[in-house]
Structure formats: structure tokens, C-alpha cells
Amino acid sequence: MMKKNYIGLANSCHDSGIAIIDSQGEVVFAEATERYLQNKRAFNITPDIFLRTSELISEYCEPDAELVLAYSWSDETEEQVRHGLEFIGNSTDALKRFYGEVPEFVENHLAFNKFVAQSQLCLVTERGRTIEYELTQLGGRAKNFISRSYEHHMTHAATACFTSPYEEGVCAILDGYGEDRAFACYEYKNGKIREIEKARKGNLASLGVFYIYVCDMCGFGHLKGEEWKVMGLAPYGQPDEEILSLFREMIHVDGLNIEFCDDSRMSQLFQKIHLLRRTKDQPPIDAANIAYAGQTVFTEVLFKFLNNLHDIGISDNLILGGGCALNSSANGRVLENTGFKNLHVFSAPADDGNAIGAALLAFYEDNPDCRPQTTFQSPYLGSTMSEQTLEQVRKFSRLPGLSECSDAPAKAAELLSQGKIIGWVQGAAEFGPRALGNRSILADPRSLSVKDEINLRVKFREEYRPFAPSILEEFGDEYFENYQETPYMERTLKFKREVMHKVPGVVHENGTGRLQTVKREWNERYYQLIKNFYELTGIPLVVNTSFNVMGKPISHSVEDALAVFYTSGLDALFINDVLIEK
């Protein structure tokens, strides 16, 4: 029987991605489209990029394997999206007849929905055309490829469940919107995923869309993925009963269903909330109370939904997926606010991660007797830095501060202990939106001013945005209350009061940090760097933020890394064993 490799394409209109699974079911490559193109969120761009895809197949696929293409939206999606566009058009016409002139906030909302639907229709109808052509050029076994598609929320569930360390669990998927709903629940057992029928289909309510509203009310761009800003700003806010009451009336939980209030009341609430929206001439801090209220109601709804799910009695292991699982502030409070005892959130729970889910669904469809591993799923699945380009830099750049470094982790720790801010680019890139020690900007957490320095002269972003602590596993309990192992920087925990003064550079306004647990077996070089820093300073953690500037994806190539280094306030840059100092 001919062996097969599986190419997963997350073909959403935003945050698309590609993944490759080998004949043994191992993820050998996974990357968001935005990284290669350096185009934030890669709107309207298919993941099978011309020429790039054939390079990936040649590098990561087994040469004698048949290829299976797997998509993250089912064949029914096109019809569903066309119905959605028709509904939006009819709604616009009806509102114009009713209002005469449609209010601006309604017009903007309809325009957003139309843009997303048209974009999704494009990626669904055009899916795979580039890769199909690329495969014909590869010849041989690539000519007879197989194509399959899977329901969107099921691909989310597959990514979440198959990367988890559990043999059994219950899975909740919550996002902006899928094919006919915005949430779904599944039982995971013995490598099989079964949908829980109590979660009703066809419901237009969405916790993800609710957070989009909050993001918009704060004056941030949800199409730019600025929901992060809401999370960062929320701790600076205070309870405002008027805003809290408006948000709470918008959305509620009924069993395993999330519901919006009726359309007429929602329209009234929109008009009231819109009056509170931050204007362009106001500083972001003026929206802190809105962010606080939005984050509060988001967590209230999430925890009630998850408690109802736990009450079914399937498992104490919770597996979260979908875009809402990127809300690290909520994730860190799940275990203390629900009946669950364990939580897994993969490094890429949003739509780009569905490339892995689609490919694994195809693999297990062909290999029903195989069981997923319960070992740690590495997030270091992306591209590596080109050695050829690095060699050209060595030969031709004539950079005065360039040198070869025989012990990069030790040298990096030394520079950090001196207060230097460094770029740390090593090995394969992380899959997902967070830098986990291979595409990172690092700094000394002992400095109170380090957050302002990085925001002002390196990242060029708002002063309220926090940074993450990467901490050695053995010190987690010493620094955090109710410590939970956090391999993918997926949850925010509370610092213990007695250690806050030691690491003020990574303590957020509310005393929390979105931490990353670092183990030697997960990332040896990064672990050794932090261990060296600990031996020099007595502090077992470093400041970690992604290697990019605001508005750009995490750097992909040597050229990208050099551009960030020389156009920002970084003091030093490590690319593997090459060190460049200013």
C-alpha cells in the first residue's frame, strides 16, 4: 500500500495557513500565510502560495508518498456564504426603507459582514487551485492527489484534541463564526471526536463577534487583529455599571447555547453603546472602562458556558479551541471558575491552526487504528533561517558588529544581565501568534522601565501593552499563584505579591503575567539561556515579546530580522550562532 502525506490548508479569509503531516501522522511543518508574505493576517490570500508550496512539498513531504489535500471548510460552505450575502443585501435594503438613512454604525457593521462573506466566498471557491497546478509540475506521484474537505468547527476540534496530552476530554470551540454556528462541543475519547448534540446548530449568536463589538467600541481595528489591545487595556479600567449592564443584556447563556438578545433590543443597545465609543481624537486610555466591561462580560459568559459543559459529566479535562481561546486573560481563570481540573489550549487555536486539524482528520480517516500521541506537541513547526542568506551576510555585509558566537545562550544571558534588549532568532519558527523563544525579543525583567523602553523604541506601540515572562519550569510555583504549566503562553496567571518587586518589567497593571513555561526538553537553547540568566542574576525568567514591530507579522527571514534590528532600538541580534551588536 502506497504511503500518504497530508497537506492541510486552512482556507479562511483571514489567518490562513498550511500544514504537512507525514505518513506516521507527525506534524512536520505548519505556518501561517502571513509569515512568509509579511502581510498581517493575510486577508483574502490563499495559503497555497505560488512557487512557495512546491518548495514546501519538496522539502517536507516524503518523496515516495501520495499526497492528500485537506481543507478546513466543508463543501456546503459556498452555498451557506451565498445565502449570507443575500441576507446582508436584504437587510441593507430593509434598513434603508425603515430608516431612510441607515445609521453609520449599522452601515459599518453591514459593510464588515459583507467584506468578510465575500472574502470567504473567494477562498472557498478558489481553494486549492494554486496547489493543484503546483502538483502537476512536480510529476510522478503528485499527479494523482486526493482532495478532501471538513466542517470548520470539526477542524478546530481536531487541532485542539489531537495536540492535547489527554486520552480523553471534553472540547469546546468558540470563535467568531463557522459554517452555521459560532460554537460547538465535542467528546474526545480513544482518539475519536464526537459532537455533543446538545449544542444547537444555526444559532447566529457569537462570543467572538461580541468581542469584536467591544474591540470596535474601544476604537481598535478588529480586522487588524487588535483584540489583544482590549485585553491589555482592560486592567486599567474600572467597573462602569452602565456599560456592564449594556454588554450583559446583549449576550447570555442557555445551557450549551450562547444567545444574543432579540434584534429590536440589540439595535437599541447598539445605539446606546455607539454613543460611548472612543473617537479617533481620544487616547486609548479613555476606553479603559469599555475594555474592562467587555472583558468582564466575555469571561462571565465563557465560564457559565463551560460550567454547563462540565455539568454534563463527560470529563474533567477541558480542551479549548477557536479564536476565543486566544483570550489568555480568561484562560488563566478557567480552572478556578469552573469544575474542570485540567486545561489544554494549543499554540494556534484560531483559523491558521485548522491547517493541522484538517490534515490530521484526513490522516486518521485513512488510519482509523492509529491513536494520537499524548506527548507534548512542539509549536516549533515553521520555517528556519536560510543558511545561504546568513553566509551571504557574513561574506558581503561588512557589518562591524558581526561575530560568530560559540555559546549563544551564555552570551545572550550576559547581555540581558547588562540591560541590553536583544533579538533572539533560533531554529524553526513557532506556529501560532506568540513568540515562544525562537522568534523573540528578550529583555531583563528586573527593570521597571523596560516595558516603556521596548514599547517606545523597539515595538513602537502603545504604552499600556504588557510583555510576557518566560519562566523555567521549576520556578513556576515560586512566582505564580495557583501555578499551571503553560507551554504555549496561552494563559495569564497572578504573580505572587512577594516576588513582584523582583520582576516589575513583566508585571501587568493587575498583577498578572501571560507566562510561558520553559522546559529543557521543549526548547533546550532557550532553556539554557534563561538558566544562564538565572545564574547571573538570581531571576529565573526573562521578558519575552514577539520579534516584530507593531502592525507587522513576526519576522520570517534573515532579511526581515535585519530590517527589524536596524530600524528599531534593539541592542543585539542573535540569528542561530551569528551575533550582531550595535
* SS3 assignment, position 67: strand
How many CA atoms are closer than 13 Å to the CA of 282, on its beta-carbon side? 13
Task: Report residue 44 CA to chain centroid gap.
Answer: 18
Length, in residues, of the chain: 582
Q: Burial code of 156-191, b = ≥16 C-beta within 10 A, e = fewer?
A: bbbbbbbbbbbebbbbbbbbbbbbbbbbbbbbbbeb
Sequence-separated (6 or more) residues with CB below 8 Å from residue 203: 181, 182, 183, 257, 258, 259
pTM metric for this prediction: 0.96
* Predicted pLDDT of residue 102: 62
Tens-digit pLDDT profile for the chain (582 aa)?
789 999 999 999 999 999 999 999 999 999 999 999 999 999 999 999 999 999 999 999 998 899 999 999 999 988 888 877 777 777 666 656 655 666 676 677 778 778 888 888 888 888 888 888 888 777 655 666 789 999 999 999 999 999 999 999 999 999 999 998 999 999 999 999 999 976 666 677 999 999 999 999 999 998 888 999 999 999 999 999 999 999 999 999 999 999 999 988 988 898 898 899 999 899 999 999 999 999 999 999 999 999 999 999 999 999 999 999 999 999 999 999 999 999 999 999 999 999 999 999 999 999 999 999 999 999 999 999 999 999 999 999 999 899 999 999 999 999 999 999 999 999 999 999 999 999 999 999 999 999 999 999 999 998 899 999 999 999 999 999 999 999 999 999 999 999 999 999 999 999 999 999 999 999 999 999 999 999 999 999 999 999 999 999 999 999 999 999 999 999 999 999 999 999
Sequence-separated (6 or more) residues with CB below 8 Å from residue 124: 11, 73, 77, 78, 81
